[in-house]
Chains A and B, each alone.
Chain A
Amino acid sequence: MKALLALLLLLALPALAVEPNERLADPALEARARTLSRGLRCLVCRNESIDESHADLAHDVRVLLRERLLAGDSDAAAIRFITDRYGDFVLLEPPLKTSTMVLWMAPPALLVVAFGGVLLTARRRRAPPAPPTAEEQARLDALLKGQE
């Protein structure tokens, strides 16, 4: 019984949204389509790729993407076919452009600022207090003398 269960668990594959009738006969092309569709956002569900989504629109885009690949498009051309219509938002990883500079640069910039701040405070804490000036030293001596 346990062995059977283990076997069944081994056989269990992740549920895929890609339906059998969508798949391309050529395994190499299909593999390319799968890789590309993992990077494309489903605009209905927003945080799912079209590879995972069961939405109608995701199905359409999967089919159209495969049509482009069958027509001989390069990966970049097939992706451009979709971004031309739906914009860069369909890419789950936003491209590096002037308009996305803030998006890409903000995290490293914040990291640098935070590190700078930490270093600055650490150094300030470690620095020994400045030696007393001549005037302070004189007052100090006087005070110490007075105590004795």
Chain B
Amino acid sequence: MTPRRLLTLLPLAVFLAVAIYFALALRPERDTQALPSAMIDKPVPVFDLPSLADGPNLSQAAAAGEVVVINYFASWCVPCRIEHPVLMALKAQKITLWGIAYKDKPEDSRKFLAQSGDPYTRIGVDRDGRIGFDFGVYGVPETYVIDRAGHIRKRFVGPLSREIAEHELLPLVRALAKP
């Protein structure tokens, strides 16, 4: 083909490139609202939160050497209630799941967990959302996976679905837990 003939195909090529880009960017399973976390592969923020139960404080130091899943939740958060059965199912998988009650009155968090069940290994209270800010939380629920070296490896924004829990969260936790 002569260069001129090739040039006439250029608009078609541009159209195809744009169409493929949009098809990928707008595919239904992709959440266009979710933001990438700036904290990926960074050390987990330092925190020392009062326990929701009367136990010792919850701090990042207690996670050392362990793969920990940290779930930000609140009793006032509707998507958290949607997510809750998935967390209860995760409890059976014997993973370390910490809850952080985000900007929630402790008595409300306790009532919520008494009603719907408590999926968490341990729970910290982030009353003013200060630690949430250090994690880069912009809306509950958010779920973070911390590796054994204490680095944030993944963030899930919004309620975890069964699919995400089974096909993304659990495989990641298992892979990170391997010695």
Chain A residues lying within 8 Å of B133, measured Cβ to Cβ, are: 60-61, 64, 85
Cα-based distance from A57 to B137 in the complex (angstroms): 9
Chain B residues lying within 8 Å of A57, measured Cβ to Cβ, are: 138-139
B contact face: mostly helix, strand, loop, or mixed: loop
Contact yes or no, A43 B134, CB < 8 A: no
Chain B residues lying within 8 Å of A87, measured Cβ to Cβ, are: 35-38, 136
Contact yes or no, A84 B129, CB < 8 A: no
Contact yes or no, A83 B38, CB < 8 A: yes
Least distance between A49 CB and chain B CB atoms (Å): 15
Least distance between B34 CB and chain A CB atoms (Å): 11
For B36, give the chain A residue with the smallest CB separation. A87
Contact yes or no, A86 B129, CB < 8 A: no
Least distance between B132 CB and chain A CB atoms (Å): 9
How many interface residues does A have (CB within 8 Å)?
A: 14
A contact face: mostly helix, strand, loop, or mixed: helix
Q: Which of A43, A44, A60, A89 interacts with B129 by CB under 8 Å? A: A60
Contact yes or no, A85 B139, CB < 8 A: no
Chain A residues lying within 8 Å of B138, measured Cβ to Cβ, are: 43-44, 57, 86
Q: Which of B35, B39, B103, B135 interacts with A43 by CB under 8 Å? A: B35
Contact yes or no, B38 A86, CB < 8 A: yes
Extra inter-chain contacts (16) besides given A57-B139, A86-B38, CB under 8 Å: A43-B35, A43-B138, A44-B138, A57-B138, A60-B129, A64-B133, A83-B38, A84-B38, A85-B38, A85-B133, A85-B134, A85-B135, A85-B136, A87-B36, A87-B37, A89-B36
Could you list which residues of chain A lie within 8 angstroms of chain B, going by C-beta atoms? 43-44, 56-57, 60-61, 64, 83-89
Between A and B, 24 residue pairs with Cβ closer than 8 Å are A43-B35, A43-B138, A44-B138, A56-B103, A57-B138, A57-B139, A60-B129, A60-B133, A64-B133, A84-B38, A85-B38, A85-B39, A85-B133, A85-B135, A86-B38, A86-B138, A87-B35, A87-B36, A87-B37, A87-B38, A87-B136, A88-B38, A89-B35, A89-B36
